[in-house]
Amino acid sequence: MMPRYWQCIAIFSLFLSSIPSDAQERSVNTFNPLTPEEKRIILHKGTERPFSGAFDQFFEQGTYQCKRCNTPLYQSDSKFASSCGWPSFDDEIPGAVLRKPDSDGERTEIVCARCGAHLGHIFKGERLTPKNTRHCVNSLSLTFIADSQPNTLNASPPQQANAYFAGGCFWGIEYLFEHKAGVIAATSGYMGGSVKNPTYHDVSDGKTGHLETVEVTYDPSRISYTELAKFFFEIHDPTQANGQGPDIGSQYLSAVFYNNEQEKRIAASLIEQLKKRNYAVVTHLIQAHKFWPAEAYHQNYYDQNHKQPYCHAYTKRFD
């Protein structure tokens, strides 16, 4: 009999070939077209050469926007000369920029809160401005609208909310949510236990009560909580009681961590729908607790290692 590990790979490959890429759909239908070099920076987290960008020594009055989705990110009064070779800002427009642990485990990446476009990195403690913060941004990630120039891009302020799902190893759940249209970002972490600041080693021992959980940051104007929850039940096996695939243990159980009664009712309704379709769902519904982001090397694991999830695949379960 084929081992469960290879069964998961085979199943994932089959279904991956049968569903459209949300990332491709978003790029084609929603966002601005990008040149190959802009794609290298914005989509693949590259870095432009220092002192080569159009906005490095540029100090006109106006607003800097995301080149991919036109969201306003920075005002010109937050820009300063840092002599680092890239545009530098000591503050962002509130809610416009998300911070994510970088894959090197040392730096913090900054991305557009609306579309997830890579901007650069954030640094603190350099004492270059009173705010003691430097957003080091690639010029190619930005467009500029002068105060004297009418803004015809009509970008509305970004909207975002968080949802929390546990369904086995967080690498696969994070990967599939990050490639879902309407999702801004997905972060691997831990929820449900009593230990503060748990480490992967702590949680792996199964003694802290935490589940490997993914925080899904999404735009409610583009995707609803119901759609997210449906997707969750379709990217893992909600009938497996002891873990997920070959990952066995209490930290790998299936759970929806709800923020409020409305989310709880939605998840419960979806579970009832699945049970009526003869799925013996064992997913737990748990009040959301403190979310602890996992170590940096767990974030964007499959994208960073150019691999595909080995135990999570899309299976359509709802009409």
- Strand ranges inside 81-231, DSSP E: 88-89, 97-101, 108-112, 118-124, 133-137, 142-146, 161-167, 183-191, 211-218
Three-state DSSP state, 313: coil
Structure tokens at 222: 């583009």
- Provide the sign of the torsion angle of the four alpha carbons 114, 117, 119, 123, taken in this order: positive
Tell the burial category of 253 from Cβ atoms under 10 Å away from its Cβ (0-12, 13-18, 19+). buried
Residues recognised as catalytic: 136, 169
Spatial CB neighbours of 220, under 8 Å, sequence gap ≥ 6: 159, 160, 161
Name residue 245's amino acid: G
Rounded Cα distance between 158 and 112, Å, is 9
- φ, ψ of residue 277 to 5 degrees: the values are -95, 15
* DSSP state letter for 250: G
DSSP string of 41-69, one letter each residue = HHTT---PPTT-STTTT---SEEEEETTT
Rounded Cα distance between 126 and 105, Å, is 19
Spatial CB neighbours of 45, under 8 Å, sequence gap ≥ 6: 109, 118
Find out whether 279 and 316 touch, Cβ atoms under 8 Å: no
Find out whether 233 and 225 touch, Cβ atoms under 8 Å: no
